[in-house]
Amino acid sequence: MSAAKTVDQSALLPESLRDDFPILSRDILEGHPLVFLDNAASTQRPRQVIDAISNVYEHDYANVHRGIHTLSERSTELYELAREKVRAFVGAKHAREVIFTPGTTASINLVARSWGGANLQPGDEILTTVMEHHSNLVPWQQIAAETGAVLRHVPITEDGRLDMAAFDQLLSERTKLVAVCSISNTLGTINPIDEITSKAHAAGALVLVDAAQSVPHMPVDVLKSDVDFLAFSGHKMLGPSGVGILYGKESLLDAMPPFLGGGSMINEVRLDSFTPAELPAKFEAGTPPIAPAIGMSAAIDYLNHIGLEAIHRHEQVLTQLAYDALSQIEGLRILGPAPKHRAGLVSFAFERIHAHEFAQVLNDQFGVAVRAGHHCTQPLHALLGISASTRASFYFYNQPENVDCLLEGISAVQSMFAPQGRRRRRKHNS
Ligand code: C6P
């Protein structure tokens, strides 16, 4: 089986980009090179990022903001340069609005604990959605339980988009914060963040965007979309794990109490009290993720070199190819909307084959790495009436051949598990 050749493939980026990624040339099985389609979980790293990390450890590493010696000054310079790179990458006004955290999850927890703890009152509402990752649900459940605030959830339409009519109804003067993902890690849906933000602001609510799946894949501009908080992770955008970002508007971050206490986040400490440091140090207690932040800086250079628009267009081609082919397979249910409303991932479920078995065979016999399970969206899976799905997620180093390998694997798994229900072309009504 081959991905349809009718899709316009002129937006594809050159295959030679794969040469920058050492891991992509390793075999998983003899004769089956790695086909890495698990990029929504974590991407791979190009040589440039790997080199930046080993360079800092070989030549420039020491703790930051602490020493007056050469290495500490050098590390501090690189670490702060990384902050500036992130600022420019998401279009923030000031570098002090960029907080280094361990990842998206930590960034959202910071806002829930610090902003939520200080501002939420009994009866206030936090409006989130049924398609959120657990990281954008559980912290709000926790802070709601502590403060007496109420959680509300925007439902989805039949085709897996946010139900904006329901959003309009749920948004009220009681809503204090809208917490929403820009792209669903399960449905692939691209949410209308600009519209959500302008409506939320008109209702007097703040907006936190879980951008874990958008910042790596398409241009994001926090000033243009006017979001109040934005959270994302380095490891999903060619960078190391252990580093992520919380962007927040300066006036909001300034007014928020520190989250974690310890070194770096203080101005002065007495035995029984302390005064907090200015931004961004106020929210960076302890030794920060120094080398990971510097690696993330190299990742941003790499992504800027290719261009986020170009990456998005490339992934749209792959998504269209995968979607078209998968929608021809009988017994396979694609989760989420049509390609024009989705980013570079496709999750699907089979009637008779469990997602785990499916992914196992894809890996063990075809070297295709996909994710199987609930993808940390259990409530969404429950709503869709399934406990698990299989997800293929793309990045710019994937090519149509990778989609072909996925399809070939699916075809084989189908005949293996359900010989009586072999792949057949669906009858179209038209
Ligand atoms: N999703 C996936 O396979 P962390 O783990 O903190 O870097 O990111 C959490 C997170 C938050 N929001 C969204 C939309 C995400 O997709 C993720 C991570 C991975 O889909 C791992 S569960």
Within 8 A by CB and 6+ apart from 240, the residues are 45, 49, 53, 234, 289, 291, 292, 295, 296
Residue 430, pLDDT score: 26
Same-domain check for residues 332 and 399: yes
Same-domain check for residues 145 and 222: yes
Same-domain check for residues 258 and 326: no
Within 8 A by CB and 6+ apart from 40, the residues are 185, 213, 236, 345, 371, 375, 391, 393
Closest C-alpha residue for ligand 1 atom 15: 212
Of 243, 276, 305, at which residue does a domain stop? 305
Residue 423, pLDDT score: 44
232 Cα to the center of ligand 1, angstroms: 9
Instruction: Give yes or no for residue 377 CB within 6 A of ligand 1.
Output: no
Residue 41 counted as domain residue? no
Average pLDDT over residues 112-140: 98
Instruction: Give yes or no for residue 371 CB within 6 A of ligand 1.
Output: yes
Residue 362 in this model has a pLDDT that exceeds 60: yes
Residue 416, pLDDT score: 85
DSSP 3-state assignment of 393? strand
Of 305, 333, 361, at which residue does a domain stop? 305
Q: How far is CA 317 from the centre of its chain?
A: 20
pTM for the structure as a whole = 0.96
Same-domain check for residues 323 and 232: no
- Are 252 and 230 in contact by the 8 Å Cβ rule? The answer is no
Q: How many domains does the chain contain in total?
A: 2
Residue 198 counted as domain residue? yes
As a whole number, the mean pLDDT across the chain is 95
User: Which of 208, 376, 381, 390 to probe ligand 1 with, by most ligand atoms within 8 A of CB?
Assistant: 376
Instruction: Give yes or no for residue 217 CB within 6 A of ligand 1.
Output: no
Same-domain check for residues 123 and 217: yes
Residue 346 counted as domain residue? yes
Same-domain check for residues 171 and 205: yes
Helices vs. strands in the chain: H and E counts, helices first: 14, 17
Same-domain check for residues 338 and 357: yes
Average pLDDT over residues 135-164: 98
Residue 429 in this model has a pLDDT that exceeds 50: no
336 Cα to the center of ligand 1, angstroms: 18
Residue 296 counted as domain residue? yes
Residue 242 counted as domain residue? yes
Domain that includes residue 265, residue range: 49-305
Instruction: Give yes or no for residue 38 CB within 6 A of ligand 1.
Output: no
pLDDT band at 419 (very low <50, low <70, confident <90, very high): low
Residue 424, pLDDT score: 43
CA-371 nearest atom, ligand 1 = 3
Q: Which residue has the tokens 């694997």?
A: 409
For residues 339 and 336, give the distance between their C-alpha atoms in angstroms, rounded to a whole number: 9
115 Cα to the center of ligand 1, angstroms: 22
pLDDT digits (tens, 9 = 90+) for 234-282: 999 999 999 999 999 999 999 999 999 999 999 999 999 999 999 999 9
Residue 342 in this model has a pLDDT that exceeds 60: yes
Q: Residue 391: which CATH number?
A: 3.90.1150.10
CA-105 nearest atom, ligand 1 = 6
Same-domain check for residues 234 and 328: no
Residue 6 in this model has a pLDDT that exceeds 90: no
Residue 40 counted as domain residue? no
CA-181 nearest atom, ligand 1 = 14
pLDDT band at 425 (very low <50, low <70, confident <90, very high): very low
pLDDT digits (tens, 9 = 90+) for 70-95: 999 999 999 999 999 999 999 999 99
Residue 43 counted as domain residue? no
Q: Residue 228: which CATH number?
A: 3.40.640.10
pLDDT band at 418 (very low <50, low <70, confident <90, very high): low
Same-domain check for residues 138 and 260: yes
Residue 421, pLDDT score: 44
pLDDT digits (tens, 9 = 90+) for 163-210: 999 999 999 999 999 999 999 999 999 999 999 999 999 999 999 999
Same-domain check for residues 313 and 239: no
Closest C-alpha residue for ligand 1 atom 21: 41
User: Which of 105, 209, 241 to probe ligand 1 with, by most ligand atoms within 8 A of CB?
Assistant: 105
Of 276, 305, 334, at which residue does a domain stop? 305
Same-domain check for residues 279 and 411: no
Residue 383 counted as domain residue? yes
User: Which of 38, 109, 132, 133 to probe ligand 1 with, by most ligand atoms within 8 A of CB?
Assistant: 133
Within 8 A by CB and 6+ apart from 331, the residues are 350, 351, 352, 414, 418, 421
Q: Which residues are catalytic?
A: 376
Q: Which two tokens stand for residue 322?
A: 């995968």
pLDDT band at 5 (very low <50, low <70, confident <90, very high): low
Instruction: Give yes or no for residue 40 CB within 6 A of ligand 1.
Output: yes
Same-domain check for residues 72 and 162: yes
